[in-house]
């Protein structure tokens, strides 16, 4: 899946159904691109090239987003391993201690709790 591309001297990022110019990118778009980079097996980005992008704003934004996503792609397994380690101890606690499950169930059924 191609997430970033350069076409007609402009930088683009993938939206839900097409591509939009990078000067229109929002923080929600960036979060979606990060998630796609982490979740998808095959992601692609057109290599940043200072000569190809003519618009100065496109150069700055595209380069920044490209470098961050490329870094995430290269460290993808490290991110996944770290997130699994973060929740491993909590998982083991709930798995090994059945009273934790009973305590949660009691809280859900208690109508006086807000």
Distances from the Cα of 19 to the Cα of 10, 28, 33, 73, 114, angstroms: 11, 15, 12, 20, 44
Instruction: State if pTM tops 0.75.
Output: no
pLDDT digits (tens, 9 = 90+) for 10-57: 999 999 999 999 999 999 999 999 999 999 989 999 999 889 999 999
Q: How far apart are CA 42 and CA 44, in angstroms?
A: 7
List pLDDT tens digits, range 6-19: 999 999 999 999 99
Neighbours of 73 (CB within 10 A): 15
């Amino acid at each position: 899946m191609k997430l970033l591309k350069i076409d007609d001297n402009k930088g683009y990022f993938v939206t839900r159904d097409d591509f939009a110019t990078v000067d229109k990118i929002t923080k929600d778009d960036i979060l979606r691109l990060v998630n796609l980079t982490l979740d998808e097996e095959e992601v692609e980005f057109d290599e940043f090239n200072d000569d190809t992008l003519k618009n100065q704003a496109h150069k700055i934004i595209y380069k920044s987003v490209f470098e961050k996503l490329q870094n995430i792609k290269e460290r993808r397994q490290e991110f996944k391993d770290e997130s699994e380690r973060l929740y491993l101890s909590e998982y083991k606690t709930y798995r090994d201690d059945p009273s934790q499950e009973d305590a949660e169930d009691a809280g859900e059924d208690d109508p006086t709790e807000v």
